[in-house]
Amino acid sequence: MLTTWAPGRVNLIGEHTDYSGGLVLPAAIQLGITVEVASVSDQISLTSTRDGAAEPFAADGAGAPATGWARYGQAVAAELAALGRAPVGLAAAVDSDLPTGAGLSSSAALEVGIALALCAVADFEPAPLELALACQRAELRAVGVPCGILDQAACLLGQAGAAILLDCATLDYRLVHVPERAALVIVDSAVERSLERSGYAQRRAELEHALALVGAERSTQLTSQDLEGLDPVSERRLRHVMTENERVRLFAEAFEAGDLESAGRLLGTSHASLRDDYEVSIAELDLLVELADAAGGLGARLLGGGFGGSVLVLAEVEDADRLGGEIVEAYRSRTGLEGRALTVYASAGAGLR
């Protein structure tokens, strides 16, 4: 009947800045989720090729909470009902080529893919950012993760060959061309990340506390003076977001100038800041960053929320395969873990297929 497509995302830089009104620079990638609607119905019945059929739930998302992956679908239906979507149900098959737990935002892709299908069957047409915000609220409703707008915005706004420089306070954005020479290599640590179990909510609370201490409404307002005389944790959290916002600006400039070396160095400092000031890294991710540098990458950093998942390595296109292979091999011999390297491309955002 109709099929929707929703990609995962890679965030080039600007990590843990979205929920303080900071800057981010993500791109949608070529991997994602398809939702194939077979028929319209009075309830929502979803089947996943990977996880089987979910218990059907009401078209407006009301009723007893769904379990497992269907929680995302039910939460999206509830958020869209709150926006005024008519309660039209559907039967659909969900398929994915996006690894889960790798920091590539499979949950946002699932939310957006289902949201677009629900909107299409009900002739409901919210603006892309309105839909992104509804899906962000759905993430909180489904699994209690108070995420920012990064993942859902990237999924909906993506454009082939470009990253999206997004101001998370105003939701203004512009596209930044990804230089042809640049390869974006993702190396999965094989340590599964779960935002539900991780310290994500704790970091967010610590940052909000620190911002309130200095009276800043958003992280782009911070200056070095704000950091003086604070308790050490607040100081570190604020220093990360303040310096990371600046790195986003500089990275966008470097990409626009085709200066991959500077962009790579910014990834390295971003990782150090996420590790030391924001404290969201783990030993395996630190090791992958080291191995990426040793293999001749231009720079690397942990990707997404941290506490597991992947690193992003910036490389020259002709180096990407060799580099990915070398990092995975060295990682296996150091840790016994089976990492995985994958090159991603800035790709079109979500829509009907």
The reply on whether position 16 binds ligand GLA by CB under 6 A is yes
42 among known catalytic residues: no
| 151 versus 284: smaller Cβ distance to ligand GLA | 151
- The owner of tokens 């306070």 is 169
Please tell me the distance from the alpha carbon of residue 281 to that of residue 288, in angstroms, as a whole number: 11
The reply on whether position 7 binds ligand GLA by CB under 6 A is no
Task: Give the per-residue contact string, 146-165, with ligand GLA (x = CB under 6 A; - = no).
Answer: -xx-xx--------------
Which of these ranges, 12-20, 112-120, 218-226, 235-243, lies near ligand GLA under the rule CB under 6 A? Answer: 12-20
The reply on whether position 284 binds ligand GLA by CB under 6 A is no
The reply on whether position 251 binds ligand GLA by CB under 6 A is no
First to last CA, the chain: 11
Please tell me the distance from the alpha carbon of residue 68 to that of residue 159, in angstroms, as a whole number: 31
The amino acid at 202: Q
Q: In the complex, what is the shortest distance from the CB of residue 55 to ligand GLA, in angstroms, rounded to a whole number? A: 26
Q: In the complex, what is the shortest distance from the CB of residue 180 to ligand GLA, in angstroms, rounded to a whole number? A: 26
| 314 versus 330: smaller Cβ distance to ligand GLA | 314
Q: DSSP letter string over 316-353?
A: EGGGHHHHHHHHHHHHHHHH----EEEEE-----SEE-
Q: In the complex, what is the shortest distance from the CB of residue 15 to ligand GLA, in angstroms, rounded to a whole number? A: 4
- Mark 287-303 as b/e (b = at least 16 C-beta within 10 Å): bbbbbbbebebbbbbbb
Q: In the complex, what is the shortest distance from the CB of residue 59 to ligand GLA, in angstroms, rounded to a whole number? A: 27
Q: CB-side exposure of 232: number of CA atoms within 13 Å?
A: 2
| 85 versus 204: smaller Cβ distance to ligand GLA | 204
CA trace torsion 339, 157, 107, 126 (10° rounding): -170
The reply on whether position 85 binds ligand GLA by CB under 6 A is no
Q: Which of 172, 152, 177 is nearest to 162 (CA)?
A: 177
The reply on whether position 19 binds ligand GLA by CB under 6 A is yes
Q: Which of 200, 208, 168, 172 is nearest to 22 (CA)?
A: 168
Task: Give the per-residue contact string, 28-47, with ligand GLA (x = CB under 6 A; - = no).
Answer: --------------------
Which among 18, 151, 226, 277 is annotated as catalytic?
151
The reply on whether position 15 binds ligand GLA by CB under 6 A is yes
| 5 versus 19: smaller Cβ distance to ligand GLA | 19
Dihedral (CA of 299, 183, 177, 179) sign: positive
The reply on whether position 18 binds ligand GLA by CB under 6 A is yes
Which of these ranges, 15-23, 120-128, 181-189, 314-322, lies near ligand GLA under the rule CB under 6 A? Answer: 15-23
Burial (0-12, 13-18, 19+ Cβ within 10 Å), 114: buried
* CB count in 10 Å sphere of residue 100: 17
- Which residues are annotated as catalytic? 151
Q: Which residues bind ligand GLA (CB under 6 A)?
A: 15-16, 18-19, 105, 147-148, 150-151, 304-305
